[in-house]
Chain A
């Protein structure tokens, strides 16, 4: 492509933390440490209970395409050379929504309802994005309870923005 990707340059610590995990190859989402409600994009407090203590949970990355479009010119300079391309909104099994792209399907084959899973992809040297690829529907037959079956340790963050193992 002719132009570099527009890169997040977050001012807030919460947003920066999301992108730093992505840079490490992880998709971690904020989950309230008190009531276990997920939220994305990152926010300073839990809208469900008001707690400001969060766990950054490594989530399954699985979900379904909730909405899709195929974008034609004019568009962002970084994307101009690959129009038409598909963009999606994915609903993760944890219940939060993310905008993204599906990397392994032609634009016309990206449809609402298709199961996908995250694939953190280095789109430029040193820059990773949480993209999605088609998932086998069979793998989703029993969505796991994300609060009980994590393999990875959540990282707890309190208002002073220190990180420790939960």
Chain B
């Protein structure tokens, strides 16, 4: 790839993260996008593309109209919820690398408190069983009649298989929850500022065995955005450019279709494919290996997603994700691979994983609350249980 078409993150933006903010998703998105532009030192008129999730409730044209963006050249959406967190950045980079757009913002806005967001549309908030009027016309017909309806139920089933195959223990998930809550306790932007112990985790109520409340992502409002442009342009902007070194996506069944998930995914080392192959592509394209990564942002609707991702992307052996966490490797500051240094989805906030993107950039700018000293390479992946993807980011040097 010619250096002139390399892509870089030039700006990051996020709102305050909190419950019941009383603001629309459009309002939240506008703030995150404008903050990303301000961070880069660009006006919003410079934006010529948006990338978001297919479940995003804020329409591109509404953002365009609200912000006064004169023209959009690119509007992209990627499948799935938390699976797309890294993909929206990767697709923004792809568009810039290919010259399809020059200044692309990837964003996600959520208002889990707003009544208007709790509708029958499966892409809106609310309890999974409150959608569709109880008539099951889609994949839910294979889950709901058996009392399996929430993502926690699905991830619990996935976790149980990993435990059976590899001997992973619930406490391994709890240890990651504890590490992330420690990270969050030191992050002024985090919703959960109180540190927890493993005993606190054990005392938190069971949701779906082995998942406990403290393993779960938060329900909150907020928005996050990253601005991607050419490396050449980014070098002239306000912040140090953060290079997009490589990006991959992969198709795989989602946790909401468990029959297919268990038939087809690589989640347990019983088959290759999915993230395993994607990880090889990701590191191969960047001529890097997992050992080169200084900090990892792993999107985790539930903490069980962390060991699965660590294994499938090659940070540890298959089945060794639990012991890897137990060793302290994922805990800042002393761990070999600090994971979710902002506090993650159970500590900082749940913006469907997109709040992990600004944190990766902060780490490479040397500006994180829990800074990994001298961090040069950051890894971000979307939720492992979905059609998903990953990116490698690096300092510009």
* A binding-site residues for B, Cβ under 8 Å: 4-11, 15, 19, 40-41, 66-72, 74-79, 84-85, 87-89, 91, 95-101, 112-113, 129, 131
Chain B residues near A98 (CB-CB < 8 A): 142, 259
Cβ of B156 under 8 Å from chain A: yes
Cβ of B158 under 8 Å from chain A: yes
**A71/B153 in contact, CB under 8 A:** yes
Chain A residues near B209 (CB-CB < 8 A): 69-72, 84
Give B216 Cβ to nearest chain A Cβ, in Å.
12
Cβ of B397 under 8 Å from chain A: no
Give A14 Cβ to nearest chain B Cβ, in Å.
12
Q: In chain B, what residue has the closest Cβ to A47?
A: B264
* Bound form: Cα–Cα A95–B263 in Å: 8
**B258/A89 in contact, CB under 8 A:** yes
Cβ of B147 under 8 Å from chain A: yes
**A69/B136 in contact, CB under 8 A:** no
Cβ of B127 under 8 Å from chain A: yes
Give A35 Cβ to nearest chain B Cβ, in Å.
16
Give B253 Cβ to nearest chain A Cβ, in Å.
10
Give B134 Cβ to nearest chain A Cβ, in Å.
5
A–B Cβ pairs within 8 angstroms, 15 of them: A5-B145, A11-B137, A41-B259, A67-B158, A68-B157, A68-B160, A69-B208, A69-B211, A71-B147, A72-B205, A74-B150, A84-B209, A96-B263, A97-B259, A101-B147
**A75/B150 in contact, CB under 8 A:** yes
Chain A residues near B159 (CB-CB < 8 A): 69
What's the A-B contact tally at a CB cutoff of 8 Å?
A: 122
Q: In chain B, what residue has the closest Cβ to A127?
A: B145
Main secondary structure of the interface of A (DSSP, over half): mixed
Chain B residues near A11 (CB-CB < 8 A): 137
Cβ of B100 under 8 Å from chain A: no
**A72/B139 in contact, CB under 8 A:** no
Other than the given A6-B140, A84-B209, 4 more pairs (CB < 8 A) read A41-B257, A72-B205, A96-B259, A113-B164
Chain A residues near B280 (CB-CB < 8 A): none
Q: In chain A, what residue has the closest Cβ to B129?
A: A76
**B136/A6 in contact, CB under 8 A:** yes
Chain A residues near B144 (CB-CB < 8 A): 6, 76
**B207/A87 in contact, CB under 8 A:** no
Chain A residues near B147 (CB-CB < 8 A): 71, 75-76, 78-79, 85, 87, 101
Chain B residues near A79 (CB-CB < 8 A): 147
* Bound form: Cα–Cα A101–B148 in Å: 10
**B157/A91 in contact, CB under 8 A:** no
The 4 closest A-B pairs by CB, nearest first: A69-B156, A8-B141, A79-B147, A112-B164
B243-270: which have CB < 8 Å to A?
Answer: 257-260, 262-263
**A8/B145 in contact, CB under 8 A:** yes
**B207/A89 in contact, CB under 8 A:** no
Cβ of B2 under 8 Å from chain A: no
* B binding-site residues for A, Cβ under 8 Å: 127, 129, 134-137, 139-150, 153, 156-161, 163-164, 205-211, 257-260, 262-263
Chain A residues near B141 (CB-CB < 8 A): 8-10, 15, 19
* Bound form: Cα–Cα A148–B300 in Å: 45
* Bound form: Cα–Cα A29–B150 in Å: 26
Chain B residues near A40 (CB-CB < 8 A): 259
Q: In chain A, what residue has the closest Cβ to B257?
A: A41
* Bound form: Cα–Cα A69–B154 in Å: 9
**B259/A99 in contact, CB under 8 A:** yes
Give A27 Cβ to nearest chain B Cβ, in Å.
13
* Bound form: Cα–Cα A1–B138 in Å: 24
* Bound form: Cα–Cα A97–B135 in Å: 23
* Bound form: Cα–Cα A10–B140 in Å: 10
Give B145 Cβ to nearest chain A Cβ, in Å.
5
**A9/B146 in contact, CB under 8 A:** no
Chain B residues near A129 (CB-CB < 8 A): 145-146
Give A126 Cβ to nearest chain B Cβ, in Å.
14
Chain B residues near A8 (CB-CB < 8 A): 136, 141, 145
**B145/A6 in contact, CB under 8 A:** yes
Chain A residues near B164 (CB-CB < 8 A): 67, 112-113
Give B164 Cβ to nearest chain A Cβ, in Å.
4
Chain A residues near B136 (CB-CB < 8 A): 6-10
Give B125 Cβ to nearest chain A Cβ, in Å.
14
**A67/B146 in contact, CB under 8 A:** no
Q: In chain B, what residue has the closest Cβ to A40?
A: B259
**A67/B157 in contact, CB under 8 A:** yes
* Bound form: Cα–Cα A87–B129 in Å: 16
**B137/A97 in contact, CB under 8 A:** no
* Bound form: Cα–Cα A99–B160 in Å: 14
- Do A97 and B263 contact each other (CB < 8 Å), given the known contacts A75-B150, A87-B147, A87-B157? yes
Residue in B129, B134, B147, B210 whose Cβ sees the most chain A Cβ within 10 Å: B147
